[in-house]
Structure 1
Amino acid sequence: MDNRLTENNILEQENKLYSAIKDGNITALDQLLHDDLLFILPSGETITKEIDLDTYRDGALKVDELLPEIENLNIIDDMAVITLTMKLNGKFNDVPFEANYRYIRFWKKFGDGIKVVGGSGIATV
């Protein structure tokens, strides 16, 4: 795998992440998320990779539709910072939801690939 940080490679990783989220693909998410990931949810709670994966393992989160729009993508040495808006709908703990979010995500190059090391999401109008 070519793991140089280019705009195309980051967008490719983002697309893999979207597919993994929508499909609830724990194996793909495990590969895309760094073991030391920290992410701040729209609720303000900080989660780790394992907490995120458990959300999919236990079936709490099911995403039916995911519509991202990239706003910015900056590559800084071996790291990329991306901002985007995303419309999501699905179910959380069997309760339907539809919402718009703004995310910032940090991708970093490692010997075994490009992985998400951190990020944050907020609900938008």
Structure 2
Amino acid sequence: MAERTLEDELYEAERRLQAAMLAGDVEELDQLLDERLVFTGPPDGQCHTDAKELDLRNHRSRTQVMTEVTQEDLTVLVAGSTGVTCFLGTLKGTFAGEPFALRMRYTRTWRRVRLAHPGRPRQPGDHADRRAARRASRGRGSRSALTREIHCGNLRSVVRSGLR
């Protein structure tokens, strides 16, 4: 079986993100969205730096309920361990009880992160992370062990912008 490429992982991460949005799956969204998520777009065109917390709160409270996410096009670009996805599609649902249907383009920047503990995103400064980095820098870490820790759940969306 061929090894999965970062491009494959980006397509999978986008699929997971869209499914989580549609299902209102706050746990999955929390895993996929980086703490530094920035959102630029409707309704005001402003840059929102608290986007992750706002997005999770809207899904958790059901202020925002998605009923359709239809992807028309997805472009994926890779540069090293960073990727960019450009989504074009239709989003339908309700926001604060009001229905919406928008054709949107989102540009998302993704970065690959290593997990210190399976099932939990790496936190900056994790002790296990620092220890693994020291071992790897001294040549004592197993490259395959580090590689196994990287999977699609570790691609986190950092920037999201949308235009109507």
On whether the aligned pair clears a TM of 0.5, the verdict is yes
CA contact (8 A) 2:111 2:157 kept: yes
CA contact (8 A) 2:86 2:105 kept: yes
Partner of residue 137, structure 2: none
Letter in 1 for 2:60: R
For 1:24 and 1:39, locate their aligned partners in 2 and report how far apart those are by CA, in whole Å. 18
Structure 1 residue 71: Cα displacement: 4.0
Partner of residue 60, structure 1: 63
**Deviations 1:39-79, CA, capped at 9 Å, x for gaps:** 21322131421111111112111111110123421101111
Partner of residue 83, structure 1: 86
Letter in 1 for 2:17: L
TM-score, structure 1 normalization: 0.89
**Is the counterpart of residue 115 in structure 1 residue 156 in structure 2?**
yes
Letter in 1 for 2:103: N
TM-score, structure 2 normalization: 0.69
**Is the counterpart of residue 28 in structure 1 residue 28 in structure 2?**
yes
Structure 1 or 2: more helix by fraction: 2
Letter in 1 for 2:157: V
Structure 1 residue 7: Cα displacement: 1.5
Between 1:42-51 and 1:98-107, the stretch displaced more is: 42-51
Structure 1 runs of 4+ with >3 Å offset: none
Between 1:13-22 and 1:90-99, the stretch displaced more is: 90-99
How much identity, in percent, do the aligned residues show?
A: 30
Q: What RMSD in Å do the two structures reach over aligned CA positions? A: 1.4
| Larger CA Rg, structure 1 vs 2 | 2
SS at match of 1:59: coil
Q: Give the length in aligned residue pairs.
A: 120
- The gaps in structure 1 that reach 5 residues or longer are none
CA contact (8 A) 2:67 2:92 kept: yes
**Is the counterpart of residue 99 in structure 1 residue 108 in structure 2?**
no
For 1:21 and 1:82, locate their aligned partners in 2 and report how far apart those are by CA, in whole Å. 16
Structure 1 residue 8: Cα displacement: 1.2
Letter in 1 for 2:15: N
